Amino acid sequence: MRNKVLSLAALAAIALAIVLAPVAAHARGALVGVPDAYQPGTIVVKTGERHLFLILGGGAAIMYPVGVGRAGMQWSGASVIDGKYIQPAWEPPPDIRRENPKLPPLIQGGSPNNPMGVAAMTVAGTDYAIHGTNEPSKIGHFVSHGCIRMFNEDITDLFGRVGLGTPVVVQ
């Protein structure tokens, strides 16, 4: 009898754990229609709209909300993804250190103070990256020094969909 009671208690505990387990976050990307102006697989950032589009082809794209460069810190052009990093460390560049002299010289990946979030993809020929964020409330705004910030769930989704050499167009 004792084993049956323990078994029932164990089963009840497992069932409760399943019911109360946190649900995985879902990417906020939405499937949208777009003109066929870009090859499938291209990342297009529309700074003024504060959206990033992953072109799927056939007039479709996945649209993600992003944070973009503040006035005077925006850039545009075409390049490719030249690096992909999970839990990247961050070394504040000189202009950011001038604004925030109390920043440490290096913030380790995974730290809650690391503005790169859970993943980053660097853009060739620039000092910029498409990356997650530790400040999700800033997504949808003009907030960065030029990088493209995404919700951590969204950069994780995009990271898994693209590879090195993926074209990036920033408008």
Half-sphere exposure of 73 (CA within 13 A, CB side): 16
Q: What is the CATH number of the domain that holds 121?
A: 2.40.440.10
* Residue 2 resides in a domain: no
Is the model more confident about 163 or about 93? 163
pLDDT at 7: 52
- 2-18: average pLDDT: 45
The rounded distance, in Å, linking the Cα atoms of 95 and 98 is: 5
| 63-108 pLDDT tens trace | 999 999 988 888 899 999 999 999 999 998 888 889 899 999 999 9
pLDDT at 161: 97
* Residue 55 resides in a domain: yes
* Residue 6 resides in a domain: no
| 11-63 pLDDT tens trace | 444 443 333 333 334 456 899 999 889 999 999 999 999 999 999 999 999 99
* Residue 128 resides in a domain: yes
Q: Which residue has 């003024």 as its token pair?
A: 48
| Angle (nearest 5°) at CA 99 between 93 and 100 | 85
Q: At 164, is the pLDDT very low, low, confident or very high (cuts 50, 70, 90)?
A: very high
User: What is the set of active-site residues?
Assistant: 131, 147
* Residue 31 resides in a domain: yes
Domain span holding position 43? 26-170
Spatial contact of 26 and 153, defined as CB atoms under 8 Å apart:
yes
The number of folded domains in the chain is: 1
Structure tokens at 100: 């925030």
| 100-156 pLDDT tens trace | 999 999 999 999 989 999 999 999 999 999 999 999 999 999 999 899 999 999 999
